[in-house]
């Protein structure tokens, strides 16, 4: 698809999201909206379930198609992908699959991680795991500082590809090289990047990746994916085991093998029981749309929008964490001062009022760790940027009232 056709495809995508008739929707970092195509696929699945009971073979075919689509999206092999309920479950699957020895360590930057990429590691301290932490630098995860803390006892380094607040990129590629050279697993939380930014686990030397489907993948809550590089997966033992994680060839799902069983190859050993078929139907359709447009083009598109919004706020004299648009910026634009507030408000009443002003005017956004958070996906355009800037300009001109 050439640039002109890509631009046309992105422009056409906007009309496939009915929520945009109601909202200026800038909150994919919280959750995305469903396309008409995804809703139609979900409806078709539910109609079949309601009227026909269930065609289990067709359901399993859907699962394998969905697994393969996600593998294509991140440039992995289907056998390196397992199904999960959410990001948290994927991260815990990895944390509990290691054979920890007292003195092993994991390295992370808790200041910028979601709590669900902190608690799994604190939980493993009961096996003697040391949780090593590094402080953030200017709102970013400091790759050089993390690398400097790796030693012979480091088993895992874990980071977000894009932090949920303030929403800056992590130099995952540099970290991937450092970890691969040292035989350390690089595990990433891709909740804020999968489906929005181009992801190539082979290029970036990512060993494991967890994601849920309700954000950039534009699906439903209650489902996620775990990628685990085959060489790593086959060194790990799942804490939980079910029939789908056991290799019995083409035998029926209810077949019981012997006591001397063999785990499924790659990440399939992490699959547990029946799948969330309805959520799979929705995200299978949405990923087909994302793949058709191409994640490189989507990343270029959302980054341009984010840069325009950030620069517009700066031109209005407002504080944008990270300052002028640069390589730290992805699809998320923060506004305000980091760390001065919570998920539900800021310590600066002016920005609480700005949030209320925008939300009352039909702009969907979030507050995270004291900053207003605007986040873009394929369905957004420069009209959305212009509308937010115009509403903000009026608010500033009125003295912030």
CATH of the domain at 28: 3.90.1150.10
> Can you tell me the mean pLDDT for 114-133?
98
The residue with tokens 């060489």 is 231
The encoded tokens of residue 72 equal 């294509």
Q: What is the mean pLDDT of residues 383-392?
A: 98
The average pLDDT across 321-328 equals 96
Residue 343 has pLDDT above 80, yes or no: no
Whether residue 220 sits in one domain with residue 329: no
Instruction: Please give the mean pLDDT across all residues of the chain.
Output: 95
pLDDT-derived band of residue 4, with 50, 70 and 90 as boundaries? Answer: low
pLDDT-based confidence at residue 297 (cuts at 50, 70, 90): very high
Strand order in the sheet with 130-133: 81-84, 224-228, 208-212, 185-189, 154-160, 105-108, 130-133
Decide if 35 contacts 286 (C-beta within 8 A).
Answer: yes
Nearest-CA neighbor of 354 among 392, 393, 310? Answer: 392
Please give the tally of structural domains in the chain: 2
Q: How many residues does the chain have?
A: 401
Residues 180 and 273 in one domain: yes
232 and 367 co-located in one domain: no
In the chain, pLDDT over 90 holds for what percent of residues? 87
Tens digits of per-residue pLDDT, 199-235? 999 999 999 999 999 999 999 999 999 999 999 999 9
CA-closest candidate to residue 62, choices 292, 280, 291: 280
Of 229, 258, 291, the residue that ends a domain is 291
Q: What's the whole-number mean pLDDT along residues 227-250?
A: 94
Same domain as 281, residue 223: yes
> In terms of domains, do 367 and 389 share one?
yes
Task: Confirm if 63 and 83 have CB atoms less than 8 A apart.
Answer: yes
Q: For the chain, how far is it from start to end, CA to CA, in angstroms?
A: 47
Same domain, 30 and 43: no
User: So what's the pLDDT on residue 9?
Assistant: 86
Mean pLDDT of 137-142: 95
318 in the same domain as 222: no
Q: What per-residue confidence (pLDDT) applies to 257?
A: 76
Q: With the C-alpha atoms ordered 283, 23, 9, 87, is the resulting torsion angle positive or negative?
A: negative
Same-domain status, 118 and 166: yes
- Give the residue numbers spanning the domain of 389: 3-34+293-397
Averaged pLDDT, 356-370: 96
Both 210 and 339 in one domain: the answer is no
Classify residue 183 by its DSSP letter.
T
- Return the exposure string of 59-91: e unless at least 16 CB atoms fall within 10 Å of the residue's CB, then b: beebbeebbbbbbebbbbbbbbbbbbbbbbbbb
Range from 1-10, 120-129, 147-156, 225-234 carrying the lowest mean pLDDT: 1-10
CA distances from 55 to 50, 62, 211, 220, 271 (A): 11, 11, 28, 22, 20
At 59-72, the pLDDT tens digits run 999 999 999 999 99
* Tokens (6 digits) for 291: 């793949």
Element (H, E) at 293: helix 277-293
On whether both 213 and 313 belong to a single domain, the answer is no
Both 43 and 186 in one domain: the answer is yes
Report residue 5's pLDDT band, with 50, 70 and 90 as the boundaries: low
Q: How many helices, marked H, and strands, marked E, lie in the chain?
A: 12, 12
The CATH number linked to 272 is 3.40.640.10
Domain boundary among 262, 291, 320: 291
* pLDDT over 70 (residue 2): no
| In a shared domain, residues 146 and 257 | yes
Q: How many other β-carbons are positioned within 10 Å of the β-carbon of residue 249? A: 6
DSSP helix/strand/coil, 164:
coil
> Distance (Å, rounded) from C-alpha 188 to C-alpha 173?
11
pLDDT (average), residues 143-161: 98
How far, in whole angstroms, is CA 9 from its chain's centroid? 23
Q: Which of 248, 273, 291 is the last residue in one of the domains?
A: 291
Does the pLDDT at position 401 exceed 70? no
């Amino acid at each position: 698809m050439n640039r002109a056709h890509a631009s046309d495809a992105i422009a056409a995508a906007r009309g496939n999201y009915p929520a945009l008739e109601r909202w200026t929707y800038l909150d994919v970092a919280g959750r995305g909206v469903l396309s008409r195509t995804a809703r139609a696929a979900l409806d078709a699945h539910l109609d079949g379930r309601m009227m026909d009971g269930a065609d289990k073979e067709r359901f399993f075919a859907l699962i394998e198609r969905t697994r393969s689509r996600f593998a294509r999206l991140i440039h992995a092999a289907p056998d390196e992908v397992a199904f999960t309920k959410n990001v948290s479950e994927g991260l815990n699957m990895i944390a509990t699959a290691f054979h920890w020895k007292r003195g092993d360590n994991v390295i992370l930057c808790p200041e910028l991680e979601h709590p669900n990429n902190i608690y799994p590691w604190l939980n493993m301290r009961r096996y003697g795991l040391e949780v090593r932490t590094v402080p953030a630098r200017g709102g970013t995860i400091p790759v050089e500082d993390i690398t400097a803390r790796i030693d012979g006892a480091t088993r895992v380094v874990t980071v977000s590809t894009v932090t949920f607040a303030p929403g800056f990129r992590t130099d995952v590629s540099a970290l991937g090289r450092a970890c691969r050279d040292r035989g350390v697993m690089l595990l990433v939380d891709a909740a804020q990047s999968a489906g929005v930014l181009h992801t190539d686990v082979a290029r970036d030397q990512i060993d494991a990746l967890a994601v849920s489907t309700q954000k950039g993948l534009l699906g439903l809550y209650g489902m996620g994916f775990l990628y685990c590089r085959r060489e790593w997966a086959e060194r790990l033992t799942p804490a939980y085991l079910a029939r789908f994680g056991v290799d019995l060839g083409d035998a029926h799902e209810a077949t019981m093998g012997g006591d001397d069983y063999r785990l499924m190859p790659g990440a399939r050993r992490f699959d547990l029981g029946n799948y969330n078929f309805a959520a799979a139907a929705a995200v299978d359709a949405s990923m087909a749309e994302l793949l058709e447009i191409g994640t490189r083009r989507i990343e270029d598109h959302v980054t341009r929008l984010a840069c325009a919004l950030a620069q517009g706020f700066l031109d209005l004299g407002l504080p944008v964490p990270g300052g002028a648009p640069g390589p730290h910026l992805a699809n998320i634009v923060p506004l305000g001062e980091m760390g001065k507030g919570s998920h539900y408000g800021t310590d600066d009443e002016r920005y609480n009022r700005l949030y209320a002003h925008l939300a009352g005017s039909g702009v969907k956004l979030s507050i995270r760790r004291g900053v207003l958070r605007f986040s873009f996906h394929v369905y957004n355009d420069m009209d959305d940027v212009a509308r937010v800037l115009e509403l903000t300009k009026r608010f500033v001109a009125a003295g912030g009232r």
